[in-house]
Amino acid sequence: MHALVTIARKEIQESLLSARFALLLVLALVLIPASLYTNYRSYEVRRTDQMEMQRRSMEQLKGLSATQLFTNPDLQVDVYLPPVASSAFASGFQEAHPRHVVVGRHGVEYGAPLEVSPSLGLFGGIDYLFVVQLLFSLFGVLLSFDTITREKEAGTLRSILASSVSRSTLAAGKFLGGFTMLALPLVIAFLVGLLALALAGLDLTTGGFLVRSTWILASSLLYVAAFFLMGLLVSTLTRTTYAALVVSLAVWLLAVLVLPRSALLVARIARPVESRQAVLLEKTAALADIERAKGQALQSVYDQDPETWEEARDEVVAPFERQAAETARRLDEEHRLRVDAQRGLALTVARLSPTGSLVSFVTEMAGTGLTAERRFLTDAESYQETLYRELFAKVFMDNLPGGTIRMGADPSLDLEAVPEFTSNPPAPLPSLRIVDLAILAAWSLILALGAFLALERYDVR
């Protein structure tokens, strides 16, 4: 135990004097609090803007005149994703997908992107997740890649191992000391970041924010531990510091940048999915066919008795409208299942790297992950069903024989009574993605085991 602490302490002392540690500390102290603060301010702007846009959308709907209502069969309602404060940690899918959807008679479509700042789209933004994902993983490797090779080249490895210290104690001490110096800047910058959020006006005690933050920090520490151990393993498998640097950077590049980004590529090749626009076109064509069939059915009723056809209208039209609704729902559902399958595969492939698991876990905890997106779309679909019942089904436009169009509305239609969109608020503590934490822990365990075994066989000469 004394030896373990002694080695760890020596690692800490050496790191404190190193430029690498100083650089990491400065970068962490600048980037994490600054990104949390600015992203929280963006969240506030987004929340205000979207609440206003949501309000205007409903106002426009309720302000429609009867003529506007009848002459607009493609009536649509804009629905906005309620932002969450914890998105300050990770923008998640919010940067990749529109944050608003359009609810129409025949389903839910993605709306146009909402931009907070045009420059973000061009250069990409920085958030806490980005800093941990790239910066800390890189420094994790940079602080450990020469842990063993440097001692070997300096000759101190022989001096240490001659001192009745086991190789596993040496590896454990190296990890303990090195990881402490990696975790310290992260924890300090994280706490300063929370302070910045509090100063920006966020009540940290609400909505399970602190619990989410704690889990985000815990997963980040597991993640950087994995990369530190990756460097340690490389250091025990190479003979020179130069070789260790080259191999470490190559592995880091693969794990952080190549593999997670290749995941979607692999999924797109293995499970291709048509675009939402293609689905929309398919839906439009199918609905047009149904509309034509409905017109023909009305035509035949009209031909039988032009005087009384209107009495049979609802009975004739009802099955076509059911068919239209079911067709639209089926096409949407099929597309959604294909998208889910593609994403599932992409996530599985991405999780081959610790980065995939970290991104998945942190975005879920921040409320900007796939679950939040799915919940938003599900809420929007539920809202679409409500709107269909309360609005769309009560407004009709029949293509009558001879090119005549007949429009009308159910007398029970009351625009004022059309409910507003409400999204279910995220749970204070979303269910943990245990699988991601388990993967991160497994990576650390495997890499630690590899490093320990490799050091046992390391040629000290």
Partner 1 sequence: MLEARDLTKRYEDGVLALDHLNLRVDNGEIFCLLGANGAGKTTTINLFFDFIQPTSGRAVIDGIEVAADPIEAKKRASYVSENVMLYGNFTARQNLDFFTRLAGRTDLTRDDYYMVLRRVGLQERAFEQRVKSFSKGMRQKLGIAIAILKEAPNVLLDEPTSGLDPKAGADFMELLLELKEEGKAIVMSTHDIFRAKAHADRVGIMKEGRLVMVRTREELTGEDLERLYLEYMQVETHAA
Contacts to partner 1 by CB under 8 A: 2-3, 6-7, 10, 13-14, 17, 154-156, 158-166, 459-461
Question: Please, which residues have CB within 8 angstroms of residue 35's CB and are 6 or more apart in sequence?
Answer: 88, 125, 126, 127, 128, 130, 131, 193
**73 three-class SS:** coil
| Under 8 Å between Cβ of 12 and 104 | no
Amino acid letter, 122:
L
Task: Name the minimum Å distance from CB 157 to partner 1.
Answer: 8
Task: Name the minimum Å distance from CB 158 to partner 1.
Answer: 6
Residue with smaller CB distance to partner 1, 150 or 271: 150
Helices (H) and strands (E) in the chain, counts: 17, 5
Residue with smaller CB distance to partner 1, 156 or 277: 156
Task: Name the minimum Å distance from CB 81 to partner 1.
Answer: 53
What phi and psi, each to the nearest 5 degrees, are found at residue 408? Answer: -175, 180
Task: Name the minimum Å distance from CB 3 to partner 1.
Answer: 5
What is the separation of C-alpha 151 from the centre of its chain, rounded to a whole number of angstroms?
42
Task: Name the minimum Å distance from CB 15 to partner 1.
Answer: 11
Task: Name the minimum Å distance from CB 241 to partner 1.
Answer: 15
Residue with smaller CB distance to partner 1, 156 or 284: 156
Task: Name the minimum Å distance from CB 23 to partner 1.
Answer: 18
What phi and psi, each to the nearest 5 degrees, are found at residue 228? Answer: -60, -45
For residue 1, the cross-strand partners are: none
Question: Please, which residues have CB within 8 angstroms of residue 145's CB and are 6 or more apart in sequence?
Answer: 231, 234, 235, 241, 244, 245, 247, 248
Q: Is 234 exposed, middle or buried (0-12, 13-18, 19+ CB in 10 A)?
A: buried
| Under 8 Å between Cβ of 380 and 103 | yes
Distance CA 328, CA 305 (A): 32
Q: How far is the CA of 125 from the CAs of 131, 145, 311, in angstroms?
A: 11, 29, 60
Task: Name the minimum Å distance from CB 20 to partner 1.
Answer: 14
Distance CA 368, CA 132 (A): 17
Residue with smaller CB distance to partner 1, 160 or 279: 160
Among 255, 259, 217, 216, smallest CA distance to 233 is for 255
Residue with smaller CB distance to partner 1, 315 or 459: 459
Residue with smaller CB distance to partner 1, 23 or 211: 23
Q: Tokens at residue 161, please?
A: 């191992």
Task: Name the minimum Å distance from CB 7 to partner 1.
Answer: 7
Residue with smaller CB distance to partner 1, 67 or 164: 164
Task: Name the minimum Å distance from CB 13 to partner 1.
Answer: 7
Distance CA 223, CA 112 (A): 35
| Under 8 Å between Cβ of 223 and 440 | yes
Distance CA 397, CA 34 (A): 55
Residue with smaller CB distance to partner 1, 69 or 143: 143
| Under 8 Å between Cβ of 283 and 327 | yes
Residue with smaller CB distance to partner 1, 2 or 412: 2
Residue with smaller CB distance to partner 1, 7 or 75: 7
